[in-house]
Amino acid sequence: MHKKKEGGKMPLVKIKEHYQITLPNSLRKNLNIAIGDYMELEDKDGEIILKPVKLVHPEQAYFYSKEWQQGEAEADKDIATGDVLGPFDTLKAGIKALKTAKI
C-alpha cells in the first residue's frame, strides 16, 4: 500500500486525454512498475483499485508455481546454512560425494 504524504493525503493525479493517468514516481519505484507493465483494475465500493500484474510466458509458468518456489526456498536455506556439497575439482570427486552423501 502506498504511504500517505504528510498531512494524511494521498498523491493526486489528473485524468488526461484518453482517460490516462500518470502514476507518481515514488509509487512506481516502490512497486517496481515499468513502462509496458500491466495493471489489473477493480471497482470496489466506488473506488478504483489498481494492482500490478506480472505476465509469465507459459513455458516459464512452472518456475513460478508454489511447488517450485518452495524448492527454491529450501535450496536457499541449505545454501545459507552450508548444507551443500562441493564445489568439486573433478567430476569424479563430485560423483563420489553424491554416492556417499547421507540424504
Contact 84, 74 (CB under 8 A): no
pLDDT, averaged across the chain: 88
- Same domain membership, residue 17 and residue 43: yes
Residue pLDDT, tens place only, 49-82? 999 998 888 899 889 899 999 999 999 999 999 8
- Same domain membership, residue 51 and residue 6: yes
- Same domain membership, residue 25 and residue 11: yes
- Same domain membership, residue 20 and residue 62: no
How confident is residue 3, by pLDDT bands cut at 50, 70 and 90? low
pTM above threshold 0.75: no
- Taking 3-state DSSP, the helix, strand and coil percentages for the chain, each rounded to the nearest 5, stand at 40, 15, 45
DSSP string, 26-57: HHHHHHT--TT-EEEEEEETTEEEEEEE----
**Structural domain total, the chain:** 2
- Same domain membership, residue 4 and residue 50: yes
Q: What is the pLDDT of residue 9?
A: 77
- Same domain membership, residue 69 and residue 24: no
- Same domain membership, residue 2 and residue 47: yes
- Same domain membership, residue 85 and residue 35: no
Q: What is the pLDDT of residue 8?
A: 64
